[in-house]
Structure 1
Amino acid sequence: MSPSKDDSTTHFGYQTVKKEEKAGKVAEVFHSVAAKYDLMNDLMSMGIHRLWKRFTITLSGVRRGQQVLDIAGGTGDLARVFAREVGATGRVVLADINDSMLKVGRDKLIDGGYTLVEYVQANAECLPFPDNTFDIITIAFGLRNVTDKDAALRSMYRVLKPNGRLLILEFSKPIFDPLAKVYDAYSFSVLPAMGQLVTQDADSYRYLAESIRMHPDQQTLKQMMENAGFYQCDYHNLTGGIVALHRGYK
Structure 2
Amino acid sequence: MSDDTTHFGFEKVKTTDKARRVADVFHSVAAKYDIMNDLMSGGVHRIWKRFTIEMSAARPKQKILDIAGGTGDLSYQFSRIVGPEGLVVLADINDSMLSVGRDRLTDRGVAGNIEYCQADAQYLPFPDNTFDCITIAFGLRNVTDKDLALRSMFRVLKPGGRLLVLEFSKPTNPVMEKMYDQYSFKILPFMGKVITNDADSYRYLAESIRMHPDQETLLSMLEDAGFSDCEYHNMTSGVVALHKGLKP
Deviation at 1:7, TM superposition (A): 1.3
Q: Residue 232 of structure 1 corresponds to which residue in structure 2?
A: 229
Aligned AA (1:30):
F
Deviation at 1:181, TM superposition (A): 0.3
**Equivalenced residues, count:** 246
Structure 2 residue 33 is the aligned partner of structure 1 residue 37: yes
Matches within 5 A, 1:146-185: 146-185=143-182
Normalising by structure 2, we get a TM-score of 0.99
CA deviation profile, 1:104-140 (whole Å, cap 9, x unmatched): 0000000100012100000000000000000000000
Matches within 5 A, 1:6-17: 6-17=2-13
Aligned AA (2:199):
A
Q: Residue 58 of structure 1 corresponds to which residue in structure 2?
A: 54
CA deviation profile, 1:170-221 (whole Å, cap 9, x unmatched): 0000001110000000000000000000000000000000000000000000
2:201 paired residue among 167, 179, 204 = 204
RMSD of the alignment, in Å?
A: 0.3
Q: Residue 195 of structure 1 corresponds to which residue in structure 2?
A: 192
Q: How much identity, in percent, do the aligned residues show?
A: 69
Unaligned runs of 5+ in 1: none
In structure 1, C-alpha distance between the alignment counterparts of 2:229 and 2:18, rounded to whole Å:
32
1:137 paired residue among 121, 134, 137 = 134
Aligned AA (1:108):
R
Unaligned runs of 5+ in 2: none
Classify the secondary structure of the residue corresponding to 1:241. Answer: coil
Aligned AA (1:74):
G
Structure 2 residue 218 is the aligned partner of structure 1 residue 221: yes
Structure 2 residue 238 is the aligned partner of structure 1 residue 241: yes
In structure 1, C-alpha distance between the alignment counterparts of 2:230 and 2:38, rounded to whole Å:
29
Aligned AA (1:157):
F
Structure 2 residue 18 is the aligned partner of structure 1 residue 22: yes
Aligned AA (2:29):
V
In structure 1, C-alpha distance between the alignment counterparts of 2:15 and 2:90, rounded to whole Å:
25
